[in-house]
Amino acid sequence: MTLISRTKNMFSILALALCLGAVPAFANDNATGEQHSDTWIKASIVTRYTVNKHLNPFKIDVDVNQGVVTLRGKVAKKINKDLAEQIALGVEGVHDVHNKLTVDGSAAKASSSGGVMDTVRDSAITAKVKSKLLLNDNTHGLDIKVDTTGRVVTLKGNVSSDAERQLAEQITRNTDGVTDVRNDLVISGKNR
């Protein structure tokens, strides 16, 4: 399966998760009495792998059958194999995990070489920074453009004061995954 088709499959699964229950195969969670479809469980696991900086969702195949998860693929280290299993076990509706992941040291080199994973990571950083700026009462997040390349975030736009400019930069620096900030914000002097 090519990287592009795997990416399309992953996003298709995430879209299906929004339908919650569109598939009739359900796993009953005895602790809460809730039922979750196998599709919902798979989408939840893939989503958690996607946002986890230690796992490459493009190298892990997830299959779910009546709440039993089977993991196949390659990870860089044994700790990543254990992490993948524990994340899957933490999803509601999962009864058991068959962890058939193999440890392959070359997977670490492949994941650090960049490409799609860097783009996904940078997009996640941009989303986190933008959310923080929008949620802060003292920054005008709608007026601040956020762009991330290689974990370096560039801030552009207009702010009302130097204090807001510095606050936006500090919020960005404090965001997980950011290695540097280029603050190109311009002080407009307008009070909002």
What is the SS3 assignment for 69?
Answer: strand
pLDDT tens for each residue of 56-66:
887 899 999 99
Q: Which of 11-20, 29-38, 131-140, 182-191 has the lowest mean pLDDT?
A: 11-20
What is the SS3 assignment for 139?
Answer: coil
| Beta pairing partners, 145 | 156
Domain over 3-112 is classified CATH 3.30.300: yes
Instruction: Please give the model's pTM, rounded to 2 decimal places.
Output: 0.45
| For the chain, domain boundaries | 3-112, 116-187
The pLDDT score that the predictor gives to residue 156 is 95
Between CA 21 and CA 65 the distance in angstroms is 15
pLDDT tens for each residue of 160-188:
999 999 999 999 999 999 999 999 999 98
pLDDT tens for each residue of 104-150:
876 454 444 456 678 788 888 988 999 899 899 999 888 999 999 98
Class of domain 116-187: alpha beta
Between CA 136 and CA 149 the distance in angstroms is 23
The pLDDT score that the predictor gives to residue 85 is 93
Token pair for 185: 């914000």
Between CA 41 and CA 176 the distance in angstroms is 27
